[in-house]
Every structure is written in C-alpha cells, then in structure tokens.
C-alpha cells in the first residue's frame, strides 16, 4: 500500500450482550461474530478475533460502529438484512476515525464477502489492504463508501450499488515526507 498511516484503534476489553444487542468489546469466544440471537450493535468499537458471519434470514443493524477484524473472515450472505455504518461527522482530533466502518489489518489476509439483500445498506470505508474482497450484491441502499482491498471482485446477478461521497469515508493520514533530489 501507499505510504499511509493505518488506524491504531485501541480495542475495548470484554464481551457484553444485553438481550439481542451487542456492546462494544473484544470478541474472541464462540464460533462466529455476532453470537446467535444478536440483531443490533451499540455504537462503538468491536474487535473480532473469529469469523464475522451474517447468514440468510438473519438481520443486523448498527450505526457509529467500527469493526476491526483482527483475525478471521467476513461473510454477509444473500438473504441477510444488514444495515451498518461507521462513525459519522467530520474527521477531527476528537473523531479521528469518522467514516471508517470496517478495518482488517495487514496481518489478516482473510476474505470479505458482501452479499446483502434489497433491504441492506453500508456506510463508510472498508479498509482491508491484504484481503480478497467479493461483492455479490449490496441492496437498494448500496454501499456509501469506499472499498480498499488486495483484490476486489464485483460479481453475481444482484444489483451492486456503490456511492462515493468523501464526507462518508475515512481519509488515511499521510505522514510528512522529505525528498532529496539532485
């Protein structure tokens, strides 16, 4: 990747669930994230150390969430209703990760498969520079953001709608550089 500064987000500790709502934390237990019966994510940071799977017939909603895929793959299967968005607002010192929806660090060379139904929508950047990403459908609302991956494959018979609005994306800071020329 270009000479950018990758996010350095501190993962909250613990795992916590209130009914069908999951709270921010670091999720290492279970076979998949989110656990069975969870339909919503409270605002905050979720560090995931296993597969993030939403199967057909399931639903998951959450706004102002950041998903950090420390390990594992992401699979949003067809027939699932998923509406997730990263932190909104302008990027600033107090909101440095505005527009970042999902981050898969360089060490995680997993796969991401996005295949929502007509009721699905995603807002924010998907930053996964080492991942192979497959988008087979995003629903009518589509993806309002950008996708950065090692490979990005658009396929399938479903509609894929990507709307780029820089105000909805995370901008990676570029460190100052010194260049010498003769």
The CA distances from residue 64 to 72, 83, 102, 165, in Å, are 22, 11, 11, 17
Which pLDDT value is given to residue 103? Answer: 96
**Cα–Cα–Cα angle for 141, 146, 147, rounded to 5 degrees:** 105
Tally of helices (H runs) and strands (E runs) in the chain: 0, 17
CA distance 33 to 54: 8
- Residue 138: the pLDDT is 57
Which element (helix H / strand E) includes 165? none
CA 89 to chain centroid, in Å, comes to 17
Partnered with residue 149 across adjacent β-strands are 128
CA angle, 91 then 95 then 29, to 5°: 120
| pLDDT for residue 140 | 64
The pLDDT profile of the chain, 182 residues, written as one tens digit per residue, is 566 778 899 999 999 999 999 999 999 988 899 999 999 999 999 999 999 999 989 999 999 999 999 999 999 987 888 999 999 988 888 889 999 999 999 999 999 998 867 778 889 999 999 999 998 765 566 788 899 999 998 876 556 778 888 888 888 776 666 777 77
CA distance linking residue 148 with residue 151, whole number of Å: 8
Q: Is the peptide bond before 154 cis (omega within 30 degrees of 0)?
A: no
Greatest alpha-carbon pair distance for the chain in Å reads: 65
The CB density around residue 78, as the number of other CB atoms within 10 Å, is: 15
């Amino acid at each position: 990747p270009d000479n950018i500064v990758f996010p350095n987000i501190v993962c909250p500790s613990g795992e916590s669930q209130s009914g069908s709502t999951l709270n921010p934390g670091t999720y290492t237990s279970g076979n998949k994230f989110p656990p069975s019966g969870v339909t919503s994510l409270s605002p905050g940071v979720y560090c995931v150390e296993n597969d993030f799977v939403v199967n057909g017939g399931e639903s998951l909603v959450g706004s102002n969430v950041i998903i950090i895929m420390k390990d594992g793959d992401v699979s949003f299967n067809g027939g699932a209703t998923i509406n997730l968005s990263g932190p909104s607002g302008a990027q600033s010192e107090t909101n440095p990760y505005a527009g970042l929806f999902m981050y898969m660090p360089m060490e995680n060379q997993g796969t991401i498969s996005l295949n929502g139904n007509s009721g699905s929508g995603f807002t924010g950047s998907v930053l996964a520079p080492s991942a192979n990403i497959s988008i087979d459908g995003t629903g009518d609302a589509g993806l309002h953001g950008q996708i950065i991956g090692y490979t990005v494959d658009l396929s399938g018979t479903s509609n894929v709608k990507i709307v780029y609005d820089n105000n909805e994306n995370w901008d990676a800071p570029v460190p100052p550089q010194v260049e010498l020329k003769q």
